Amino acid sequence: MTTHPDIAEPVVELRGVDAGYGERLILSGIDFSVRRGQLVAVMGGSGSGKTTLLRLVSGQLRARKGSVRVFGESLEKISEKELYALRRRMGMLFQFGALFTDLSVFDNVAFPLREHTDLPESMIHDLVLLKLNAVGLRGAATLMPSELSGGMARRVALARSVALDPELIMYDEPFAGLDPISLGVIGQAIRKLNDALGAASILVTHDVVESLSIVDYVYLVSEGKIVAQGTPDEIRASTDPFVHQFIHAEADGPVPFHYPAPPLAESLLESEVAR
């Protein structure tokens, strides 16, 4: 029986988190949580800090301020061994799949099983074929990653990321650059996998239409802050100018089109003087 997301315990919990690279602060004051059974979308423009949020949750980046808890464990002072123990319960789908180019499709999916279990090769064989069947690519098991299209590579990577039946699955831009059919297939696969595994999932994306149709909850990120959150219906009905601009893909609005710069006339005059 799957626990209802509203009453399930949080799998991921961020409280007042600041994070960044070097001297650059990317995220500030982030409060974020995902419960078991929930599929949560993190949306925002390019460079808004979505992927940094995933890096925080997966322990690739440490928070400068605030607390990050995953499966109830704080990631602040966690050892490498403890982090790897947590990561065995996670799966991550990378933007371009990140398949191992020297391994076949079959061996890519078998990789986590061979590394982390003592299962006999015959059982690994069956499990891999079942995972590949779930993403519709059982027939492509012998192909090499270089022989796959972008959509197929993403589906193989999806099969690999859930090979160990993770309790937390993270997707980094899974829809980027996909044709409409592959996009729909991946979207449905993400929803079904989350429900079948009873997992918690975080979907980082800027594909509004597909995401709102499959997720339970949405966080909108802009300039390193969470500017709006709610269920897909609440987000669609929102009158907030930022949400409206993002959901309806409008060029004009609170999100500036131009990167901060002095007025155009001033820049042109400067170059004139320099000549």
Partner 1 sequence: MIRLLRALGRLTVDGVWQVGFATRFLFVMLRHSGPSFARFSLTIRELYFSGVLSLVIIVVSGAFVGMVLGLQGYDTLQRFGSESALGSIVALSLLRELGPVVAALLFASRAGSAVTAEIGLMKATEQLTAMDMMAVNPIARVVAPRFWGGVLSMPLLAAIFSTVGVIGGWFIGVVVIGVDNGTFWSQMANSVDFREDVMNGVVKSFVFGWAVSLIAVFQGYDCTPTAEGVSRAITKTVVYSSLTVLALDFILTSFMYIGK
How big is the CA angle at 132 (ends 40 and 185), to the nearest 5 degrees? 45
Sheet with 10-21, strands from edge to edge, namely 24-35, 10-21, 65-70, 73-74
Shortest distance (Å) from residue 244 CB to partner 1: 34
Stretch that binds partner 1, among 70-78, 112-120, 215-223, 226-234 (CB under 8 A): 112-120
Radius of gyration of the chain (CA): 21
**DSSP reduced 3-state for 187:** helix
Q: Give me the least distance between CB of 84 and partner 1, in Å please.
A: 4
Smallest separation, CB 94 to partner 1 (Å): 5
**What is the sign of the dihedral through the CA atoms of 60, 66, 70 and 75?**
positive
The phi, psi pair for 229, rounded to 5°, reads: -155, 155
Question: Residues 4, 62, 64, 88: which binds partner 1 (CB under 8 A)?
Answer: 88
| Of 69 and 114, CB closest to partner 1 | 114
Ramachandran bin of 171, using left for φ above 0, alpha for ψ from -120 to 50, beta for the remaining angles: beta
Part in contact with partner 1 (CB under 8 A); list of ranges 94-102, 201-209, 214-222, 255-263 = 94-102
**x/- letters, 65..84, toward partner 1 (CB under 8 A):** ---------------x---x
What is the Cα–Cα distance from 213 to 233, expressed in whole angstroms? Answer: 10
Q: Pick one of 2, 3, 60, 149: the residue that binds partner 1 (CB under 8 A).
A: 60
**CB of 249: closest distance to partner 1 in angstroms?**
28
Contact with partner 1 (CB under 8 A): which of 11, 56, 61, 99?
99
Min dist CB 102 to partner 1, Å, is 8
203 three-class SS: strand
Residue number, 86 or 134, with CB nearest to partner 1: 86
Which are the contacts of 168, defined by CB distance < 8 A and separation ≥ 6? 11, 12, 34, 57, 70, 71, 89, 90, 91, 199, 200, 201, 202
* Nearer residue to partner 1 within complex by CB, 61 or 228: 61
Which residues contact partner 1 by CB under 8 A? 58, 60, 80, 84-85, 87-88, 90, 92, 94-96, 98-101, 111-112, 115-116
